[in-house]
Structure 1
Amino acid sequence: MLKNPLQETAEDRRMAAREGQLDKKTFAQEQVTFTAPVSSDPRVGIIGGGMAGLACALSWDKRGVKSTVFDTGNHGLGRRMGTRMIGPQPLIFDHAAQFFTVNDSRFRELVDGWLERGLVQPWKV
């Protein structure tokens, strides 16, 4: 028989597992219900300033949620998609993502905004 989960040890869990006394949790049991009051000014923190982190920040922004992107800053925002400048000569280049395709309507909306601002341009072959 299992003890109070707060008092059980790793050995208690191993013994219970050997004896078939551990039940697996269902998906519903794994869900979390937040009980704190919802802020009228919600804020989120996003770890990583790569493409996924920046897309996440834009998505939250569209919903009116303020976010802060935390990044090491070693490579600048955009990570592999970012522009690098090397000195002392004014060398500027994009070392990854020379091209990409758009297959999703949500991404298309984002790219259309980039096109309007001149941040990207179509690749004509």
Structure 2
Amino acid sequence: MTPAQAQEAKERLEDAHARALSLGTIKRIEDTLSTLQSSFVFPIDLDLARPESPSGWDSDSEAELAFTPKNKPVHVYEYALSGLLSKLDAVDSFGDEAIRGRRKEVVNKVEKALREIGKRVEESRER
């Protein structure tokens, strides 16, 4: 094997290793998502608060999820899901379509979980 061939082989191995690390990172993030989803318990009741306007309460504004102990599980869950999106954004695909596709698949799962929690909070507003 010539030095050029050895260098090329080394680079191929390094590229394969980097791609495997990216896929492994995506898998760990997906596993974390599954753990978060299975352990999350939505509170029975939520504390909602209307945003304050300069003249007092603004009756036209929609009630927001207050930052209270009762709502803490929802806020922590949303924060954790947003963190997973940030971690997925940081995963390098090296131009590999398989890595991009896998990352997009997990991003979609996280975004779906965020939409679902938003929907449940919205349903709580309507009660």
Q: What TM-score, normalized to structure 1?
A: 0.24
> More strand by proportion, 1 or 2?
1
> Whose relative contact order is higher, 1 or 2, with alpha carbons under 8 Å and at least 6 apart?
2
Q: Of the two, which has the highest radius of gyration? A: 1
> More helix by proportion, 1 or 2?
2
